[in-house]
Chains A and B, each alone.
Chain A
Amino acid sequence: MEHLLAIIVAAPFVAGVLLLLVPEVDRLMVRLVALCGASVSLAGSVLVATHYDLAEGGLQLAASYPLVPSLGIALRLAADGWSVSLLLLTGIITFAGVLASWTLRERSKEFYVFLLVLVAGVFGVFVSQDLFIFFLFYEIAVLPMYLLIGIWGSSHAVAKDGPFHFVWKLFDIGGREYAAMKLTLMLLVGSALILVVIFAMYVEAGQHTFDMSVLGRARYPRSMQIWAFPLLWLGFGSLSGVFPFHTWSPDGHASAPTAVSMLHAGVLMKLGAFGVMRVGMVMLPEGAVVWAPMVGVIAVVNIVYGALSAMGQKDLKYIIAYSSVSHMGVVMLGAATLTTTGWNGAVYQMFAHGIMTGLFFALVGLVYERAHTRSVPSMGGFGKAMPAVAVFFTLAGLSSLGLPGTAGFVAELMVFIGAWQSAHSWWAIPGILGAFFTAVYVLRTVRMIFWGPGPAARFDELADARRTEWGALVILGAALIVFGVYPALILDFINRTTPHYLGAVKELIGAP
């Protein structure tokens, strides 16, 4: 059990290396190796959940492998309650993602190699207890995206007008290279900001170690926290789609292939929010308290603005991408409340939105592959030809609009209650309004794609979900319902950790 976390992180990486030895032509083998890697990580994540001692709480399954002793860098891995839930999320999405991209044809071997490396990075971030390693894994998770979108992505013509049309002419807007470049550059600028703060914390703590528990105990001067927190928020926030640094997300998600969209919106965006909370708010509590009003206001903007933007889109992938921007606002709102309920809700929303958007992107990929169009107005009546896709799309939509019985409701309920109990009660109102807007665009999209008589005969022969795709859909759909009906399955883990991390903040604001 001691090396369990290391195995979880290493399994996808090892599978990626093994893939290099498999001949490209043996396509089934390629997929099986990838699926094995994903399965080991998923099984490991479930094991972590079963072995985590709720009564004891805190960091468990700790393991440390020294890397650069002179700088105090070590591969320190351990799991807390938050990690448990996010490991499960990553495990589920990865497994479903491999299944969903089973039919990929072009250079599938390299695709899976990069995908698995990315996944290893994500697992690494969630269990790292060493700030340097945390950052290293963070970069490992972000960078393969450039290749995955640039090589396997799809391009889509975008009209070039608006106030900056002279700029648009220069770039190939809507193209996959453009999307890949945009995403990578924006996230790397964010990383640069994070790196500055990490070094400042290392120096300021003066303990010659990157151990997060040591750095977390250090009392940083108020002035430093006040300049450092917004940098972390911007840096990590750019990955979680914080307004106005969210614009990589629609282009990136629209161009990315199915499994990459699933992983990116489902898991990677959570890295950003996780970073803001775990590094920013937990380790720089004074900065968090000072800046929470701004974080909350921007989160509210994200929710409403993202939902309205989604409502104004005609491209299916853009709709879902903007809905992610809106839902990540719910996570950030929960974080900004600085209350136990709000933070529980924020982490739960990371989980719920991850599953939901994973399901969404799997379905969008399916629809796009069959219908060869992403334009929603040109679709219609697909429900007859692909009933399973229609059912799961509706399910994902219901979760995203916060219908009780799905995981989305539990998360949003906790976040909104937390918002009302925070120092800025009014945040709850635009938050709830955003959920209504979600109902408007999601149901309209469902109607336009799946209901109605259908515009063209060429859509009558669309194939429904096939075997491996069924697997992906059932896993994700079942998770949405199970965790919506009985949230304690993971909420107990989250709730075990939240009060502990929130302690420093509560002390500062004098809350009970």
Chain B
Amino acid sequence: MTVTPLTLALVALFTPLGAAALIGAVTPLRRRGTPAAWLSIAAVMVTLGCAARLFMLRLAQPDGELLRTFAWLPSGSSTLAELGVRLDGVSIPMFLVLSVVAACVQVFSLGYMADEPAPARGRYFAYHSLFVFSMGLLVLAPNLLELFIGWELVGLTSYLLIGFYYQKPSAAQAAIKAFWVTKFADMAFLLGLILLVSVTGSFSWTASPPAPWATAITLLVFVGVMGKSAQFPLHIWLPNAMEGPTPVSALLHAATMVAAGVYLIVRAHPLFALSETTLAVMTSIGAFTALFAAVIAVVQTDIKRVLAYSTCSQLGYMIAALGAGSVMGGYFHLTTHACFKALLFLGAGSVIHAVHSNELAHMGGLFRRMRLTGVTFMIGALALAGVPPFAGFFSKDLILEAMVHGERWLPLAALLAGAFLTALYMTRVVWLTFFGEPSTEHAEHAHEHGALMVAPLVVLAVLSAGAGFFGKTLAAVYGLEYEFSLTPVGVAGSALGLLGILAGWFAWGRPGKTTRAFELVAPLGTLARSGAVNRAWELGYRQVLMVAAELIAWFDRYVVDGVMNFIAWATLRLGTRLRRLTTGNAQDYVYAVVAGAVVIAAWGIFG
């Protein structure tokens, strides 16, 4: 019996949903923790198998697409919205990336979360399964509406997972902040969708609205992308999102969910290509974020925050590439970044698990104690720094070439400076974590934690080292021509990377120089830590929105409702006054009758 691609996709999509529902609904399963974890992992393995099979099928036959939809919302005699599945060269590779990283992260979590209470672990894996489904829905969506549905659902799982330690006030705040900022951006996205369906009559990205509408729609959708993919000035939620467990940061806030914005643009590229304005805006914002976040990453003291800002920065690279018209550059970097950033986060998780702290100042000298973690982490760092022949080199090279090709010189300069800084901050992290002398008791006694946590690191390290050579495969699946060639800008990019490593070693690598190097970047640090952007948003929330809410609430209770009460009060008073007319004296009533008769008679005679 042959299994059709459609069946594969549906099985891949709904097995994790079934697992999430089971864990959620069957209380004993959730309370026991470990069976829930294995169920979730089994589900993601099924997804991985299906995704791999789909990828193979696609490789063997790279043409055409599979589209199955059903009417979801009727309106009158026509259909307003459809849902379904679309399998083509864009969705299948992303689906594979998602399932590979999700599988690695869930297996890693098994070890990482082992110390949590069992019910909490059950909850954790239920969220993870829900995430795999939601992200799968986003990836396989045949139109922008379904993509939006998946988009919001991954936002929900992100909220739930960031707030996993819900009793911790900072985690609760971070979860809510992530939801608000992305939801704020999604309002623009939703408006863009409404415009799209009103102008073209469908949610399809292949529709071509007339020029001014195309710009409006794509700009609005791009605001949604800025929220989800943490682009300046909507990046403020991502550093806080590090409150979640580290494997969550690896999967959602580095490899897949935050990259959904990039995926969206790749997916809807026919629509975005209609507007030059939007493309220019994308390049500017992407390149600016790439540099801006890299600067901040240099001075962070928390290992996860360095990586978080690094993620902002790398997403900026992808978006800049897409703005310059290089779909392949954006998509390729998305793929390689998913591998090496997930690796870096899991490596950081392994380190944090050992030293019980996120602070770089509490680490040091771990290389001798955790050799596998150290080696794999450094592979990830080299890949991120764009050193050949690691994965990041090839994809970053493609992005830089795209900038040259599109003659976007200013963004190119920003991206090159970013490449230098990327290498610099990664060297700093590697050095402060793995070399020097251990600075705490925990760091002193750190050790590697079992196969479950090491195996995912090795898998991802192999991918990070080798994924760069598969650009041709990806391009073939995607249906594009791609041939690697060494260009001056690519050489410059990796030279800057090497220079960054060197500079990092000069600043932090030599014993005793650490503090002085920090003083060197201190002004930068003050700037970065002041969090001006964050403050501006907070001001808007506290001083504008909350004050407006208080005012309106006061106005409603005491003015609008006051008027209602006043009317009631006036009626009562009027009644009290009028009551005096009822005196009870018979004479008074007779006078009234006579007076009335006179008035009526007068009206009859003269009226």
Residues of chain A whose beta carbon lies under 8 Å from any beta carbon of chain B: 161-164, 167-168, 170-171, 173, 182, 185-186, 244, 247, 305, 308-309, 311-313, 340-341, 344, 381, 383-384, 398, 401, 403-405, 409-410, 413-414, 416-417, 420-421, 428-429, 432-433, 435-437, 439-441, 443-444, 447, 450-454, 487-488, 491-492, 495, 498-499
Contacts and interface: CB of A to CB of B under 8 A. Distances in A.
Nearest to B570: A167
Contact of A432 (B71, B159, B166, B187): B187
A164 B563 contact: yes
B601 interface: no
A428 B566 contact: no
Contact of B198 (A162, A421, A433): A421
B565 interface: yes
B14 to A, nearest CB: 12
Contacts of B11: none
A340 B76 CA distance: 6
B488 interface: no
Contact of A341 (B80, B167, B552, B553): B80
B564 interface: yes
Contacts of B80: 341, 414, 417
Q: Which 9 residue pairs of A and B lie closest in terms of their CB atoms, listed nearest first?
A: A312-B553, A162-B558, A164-B562, A311-B549, A404-B149, A312-B549, A247-B561, A451-B172, A308-B552
Interface in B52-105: 71-77, 80-81
A313 B553 contact: yes
Interface stretch (B178-186, B255-263, B330-338): B178-186
A244 B568 contact: no
B565 A167 contact: yes
8 contacts: A162-B558, A167-B562, A311-B546, A312-B551, A404-B149, A404-B152, A413-B190, A443-B179
Contact of B554 (A162, A403, A404, A437): A162
B559 A163 contact: yes
A498 B198 contact: no
Contacts of A452: 166-167, 169, 172
A436 B187 contact: yes
Contacts of A344: 75
A328 to B, nearest CB: 15
Given A168-B562, A492-B74, 10 more contacts: A162-B562, A164-B562, A170-B572, A305-B556, A312-B550, A312-B552, A417-B194, A420-B194, A435-B187, A440-B180
B374 to A, nearest CB: 37
Contacts of B560: 244, 247
A428 B510 CA distance: 60
Nearest to B559: A163
A171 B565 contact: yes
Contacts of B184: 436
Given A405-B153, A436-B184, A450 B166 contact: yes
B364 interface: no
B375 interface: no
B166 A451 contact: yes
B410 to A, nearest CB: 33
A171 B553 contact: no
B191 A403 contact: no
Contacts of B565: 164, 167-168, 171, 173
B569 interface: yes
B226 interface: no
Interface string B7-23: 00000000000000000
Contacts of B197: 417
Contact of A416 (B148, B175, B190, B546): B190
B549 A164 contact: no
Nearest to B561: A247
B176 A444 contact: yes
Interface in B223-244: none
B195 A420 contact: yes
Given A162-B562, A163-B558, A163-B559, A443 B166 contact: no
Interface string B183-218: 110010011001101100000000000000000000
A54 to B, nearest CB: 11
Nearest to B134: A405
A163 to B, nearest CB: 6
Contacts of B491: none
A495 B569 contact: no
A426 to B, nearest CB: 11
B521 interface: no
Residue in B75, B77, B563, B569 whose Cβ sees the most chain A Cβ within 10 Å: B75
B176 A167 contact: no
B566 A487 contact: no
A447 B167 CA distance: 10
Contacts of B153: 403-405
A163 B74 contact: no
Contacts of A308: 548-549, 552-553
B557 interface: yes
Nearest to B156: A403
B112 to A, nearest CB: 23
B167 A443 contact: no
Contacts of A436: 183-184, 187
Nearest to B186: A436
Contacts of A499: 76-77
A384 B173 CA distance: 17
Contact of A163 (B149, B172, B562): B562
A405 B550 CA distance: 32
A450 B167 CA distance: 9
A405 B130 CA distance: 12
Nearest to B195: A420
Contact of B191 (A244, A309, A432): A432
Contacts of A182: 564, 568
Nearest to A432: B187
Contact of B176 (A244, A341, A420, A447): A447
Contacts of B180: 439-440, 443
Interface string B117-151: 00000000000000000000000000000001100
B76 A498 contact: yes
